[in-house]
Amino acid sequence: MTNENNSLLSSFTLPNGITLKNRVVMAPMTNFSSNQDGTVTDAEVEYYARRSSGVSMVITACTNVTPNGQGFPGEFAGYSDDFIPSLKQLASGIKEQGAKAILQIFHGGRQCPPDLVNGDVVSASNIPSEGEGNPVPRGLSEAEVEEMIEAFGETTRRAIEAGYDGVEIHGANGYLIQQFFSPHSNRREDRFGGSLEKRMTFPLAIVEKVKSVVKEHAKSPFIVGYRFSPEEPETPGITMDDTLALVDKLSDQGLDYLHVSLQDFHSTPRRGVEDLSKTRIDYLLEKIDNRVPLIGVGSIYSAEDAKKAFATGVSLLALGRELIIDPDWVQKVEAGKEDEIVTEIDKDRQKELVVPDPLWNAIIHTPGWFPGV
């Protein structure tokens, strides 16, 4: 292990007192591999377990908090106590390998395929996503919004009962929580919409609900994180300055981490701030000002990529595609074998890489998604 890697492999204590063994976490990634009834498959558990011994924390793929929140085929569910044994199976598979298990909780909102939600596609307002053929969602009533907040709380309780070490509130990637924050999808005129501050009401209410459930039900420290996307391409849409305002609020909510969703760690803002050459990460770190840890992510493959990213000052780094390509990434860095890290998918090694068929098929049939495809 070289000195340069020491900081990346050093332990890190979260605000709630839980210590992570190093600064590398597995990013949440949809894997399309659950059973049709919303329970996890053995193949899915094995896939996670294979990647759980090097990293300090594994953030699972998203689980839907209501039946009409399913965003993908082959997604595991968390909307009923009936799913606690399934959720527990996944948590155990991760924890047995030495990583903290974090359940990502979400609702797909207007991005839910109608056939997966019995046609009940809902959102903040009745505005479809841009593009051809997207369903027009039904705007949730105020009472339904309150029920949705409760549903996030209930799924948090299930995560606690299933043995997870924490939850990540998925407020990114254009799903329901982001839809309430976005001026594109949220055209409401009640307390959940209108001004920038009112569009924060739903995300902040979910944070408050989740924290209150943790306080009531968790018998030991329990991690609560929040993931967000910094900008939207649409006009109107979320701009970098909108996100900095939200992050400013989130930084004072007593969360254990914030997690930015980026395709490229070093990407720059598209609008809404003065200096468009300064990276989004730099803007976020400046705004957060050490109030809460930030997880950075985005096209980090080699050890050199990770060192450059970590040098920006983020507390933790999330690896997504790279841990599918090389599940032993952390172990190779620990052993000083960075030159042995694989950075392109080997299409002949599905079995050794322990990747379920649905995810593997998605990878090899989506050119450009993974290096080597």
Give the residue with greater pLDDT, 5 vs 29: 29
Residues 6+ apart with CB under 8 A from 199: 180, 181, 182, 183, 186, 192, 193
175 annotated active-site: yes
Distance between CA atoms of 227 and 351, rounded to whole angstroms? 31
Both structure tokens of 23:
């600064």
| Structure confidence at residue 225 (pLDDT) | 99
**Each residue of 199-229: pLDDT tens digit?**
999 999 999 999 999 999 999 999 999 999 9
Both structure tokens of 179:
């839809």
Domains within the chain, CATH numbers bracketed: 3-364 (3.20.20.70)
Per cent of the chain over pLDDT 90 is 98
Distance between CA atoms of 86 and 103, rounded to whole angstroms? 12
**Each residue of 151-171: pLDDT tens digit?**
999 999 999 999 999 999 999
Distance between CA atoms of 65 and 117, rounded to whole angstroms? 12
In angstroms, the Cα distances linking 212 to 26, 63, 154, 208, 242 are 26, 20, 11, 6, 26
When pLDDT is averaged across residues 249-259 and rounded to a whole number, the result is 98
Rounded-to-5 percentages of helix, strand, coil across the chain: 40, 15, 50
Distance between CA atoms of 240 and 37, rounded to whole angstroms? 39
When pLDDT is averaged across residues 252-265 and rounded to a whole number, the result is 98
User: Across the strands, what pairs with 104?
Assistant: 62, 168
Say if CB 149 and CB 205 are below 8 A apart.
Answer: yes
Strand blocks (E) in the chain: 12-13, 19-20, 24-26, 57-64, 100-106, 122-123, 138-139, 166-171, 223-228, 257-260, 294-297, 316-319
236 upstream amide cis, omega within 30 of 0: yes
Q: Environment class of residue 174 by beta-carbon count within 10 Å: exposed (0-12), middle (13-18) or buried (19+)?
A: buried
**Each residue of 317-363: pLDDT tens digit?**
999 999 999 999 999 999 999 999 999 999 999 999 999 999 999 99
Q: Find the catalytic residue in 47, 79, 164, 175.
A: 175
pLDDT band, residue 1 (cuts 50/70/90): very low
| Structure confidence at residue 300 (pLDDT) | 98
Q: Environment class of residue 169 by beta-carbon count within 10 Å: exposed (0-12), middle (13-18) or buried (19+)?
A: buried
pLDDT band, residue 5 (cuts 50/70/90): low
Distance between CA atoms of 80 and 238, rounded to whole angstroms? 32
| Structure confidence at residue 174 (pLDDT) | 98
Distance of CA 187 to the CA centre of its chain: 25
In angstroms, the Cα distances linking 142 to 38, 125, 189 are 28, 11, 11
Strand blocks (E) in 77-130: 100-106, 122-123
pLDDT band, residue 2 (cuts 50/70/90): very low
Distance between CA atoms of 179 and 203, rounded to whole angstroms? 10
Phi and psi (nearest 5°) for 139? -70, 130
| Structure confidence at residue 22 (pLDDT) | 98
Distance between CA atoms of 167 and 132, rounded to whole angstroms? 34
**Each residue of 172-188: pLDDT tens digit?**
999 999 999 999 999 99
Residue type, 291: R
| Structure confidence at residue 342 (pLDDT) | 98
**Each residue of 43-72: pLDDT tens digit?**
999 999 999 999 999 999 999 999 999 999
Which residue in the block uniquely carries the two structure tokens 């841009």? 130
| Structure confidence at residue 6 (pLDDT) | 67
Both structure tokens of 300:
């980090």
When pLDDT is averaged across residues 239-245 and rounded to a whole number, the result is 98
| Structure confidence at residue 250 (pLDDT) | 98
